[in-house]
Amino acid sequence: MTAVLEYESNAIVELMGVLPADRDGEWLKNSLQQAIMVEIATIGPYASALWSIKEPNGAVAKAIREIIFDEMTHMGLVCNMLTTIGGTPVLADPKVVPKYEHALPGGVRPELIVFLEGLTKDSVEMFSEIESPEHPVALFDTFATIGAFYTAIEETFETHQHLIGGDRQIDFSLESHGQGNRILPLDTIEKVRAAIEVIKEQGEGTSASPENPFPGKPGNWRTSTCSGRCSVARS
């Protein structure tokens, strides 16, 4: 299928509608570009909430700051996935710029409206919805979840491992902001699997548990569950 960059498209829904046997290298490139757009879209709401906190060194601010670095890591890893198969991430085109108050790009979770606001009960509820895990922890039968989309991407990588070339890779550590936050070169299927596991298990669609297996330092907010990642803010 032809690449669709428009933020307001249903590209992810259409990509998920392609039969697994027909998901080729172009499908993978298009899907990874959409995943990049999803990751970028989630950064703004967390940053907006962080800027509203009067105690920037408090536990809540630190918790949200680390989530922002999670999302930045995810974006970097997905960019590495795209470049390793010969694609080029599109980040600055006006067509891919996040829109608020709006649904996430590509038609994923269309009922979820993402907005910019200070840290409020409404924004915390939005964060919990963004991080809602996929089946069997939570059931969403009528639309694609972020986790299900990453699962489809991983399965397509498994089928097309020969596309992994290891070109134009970034190696950059953000681990001072939490365990698992490192943008690593992805030149093998094993490394791609590990990168997708980090993305999914940090909150965007675990298939087994809502707990984050990349908990950071002892006593860090990540020891809480992920509905998860925002439980500190709720309190």
**pLDDT, mean of each 10-residue run, the chain (235 residues):** 75 92 96 93 94 89 89 93 96 90 87 92 89 46 70 96 93 70 90 91 52 41 37 38
Per-residue pLDDT, 43: 93
Collect all residues with Cβ–Cβ distance below 8 Å to 147 and sequence separation of at least 6.
Answer: 133, 134, 200, 204, 205, 206, 207
Position 85 in a domain: yes
Position 133 in a domain: yes
**Domain containing residue 172: CATH number:** 1.20.1260.10
3-state secondary structure of 103: strand
Position 126 in a domain: yes
- Domain of residue 222: give its range: 11-234
| Dist. CA 9–CA 31, nearest whole Å | 13
Per-residue pLDDT, 176: 67
Per-residue pLDDT, 132: 67
Contact 170/78 with Cβ under 8 angstroms? no
**Measured at the alpha carbon of residue 80, what is the angle toward residues 165 and 85, in degrees to the nearest 5?**
35
Please report which helix (H) or strand (E) contains residue 85, including its range.
none
Collect all residues with Cβ–Cβ distance below 8 Å to 41 and sequence separation of at least 6.
Answer: 98, 104, 105, 114
β-sheet bridge partners, residue 183: 172
| Dist. CA 173–CA 73, nearest whole Å | 9
Per-residue pLDDT, 207: 43
Position 1 in a domain: no
- What's the structural domain count of the chain? 1
| Dist. CA 80–CA 172, nearest whole Å | 11
If we measure between CA atoms, which residue out of 146, 165, 7 comes closest to residue 74? 146
- Give a three-class secondary structure readout of 23-51: CCHHHHHHHHHHHHHHHHHHHHHHHHHHH
| Dist. CA 4–CA 79, nearest whole Å | 17
Position 4 in a domain: no
Please report which helix (H) or strand (E) contains residue 211, including its range.
none
Position 31 in a domain: yes
Position 5 in a domain: no
Per-residue pLDDT, 172: 84
| Dist. CA 133–CA 84, nearest whole Å | 27
Q: Which residue blocks in 52-173 are alpha helix, DSSP H? A: 59-84, 121-130, 146-159
Per-residue pLDDT, 146: 80
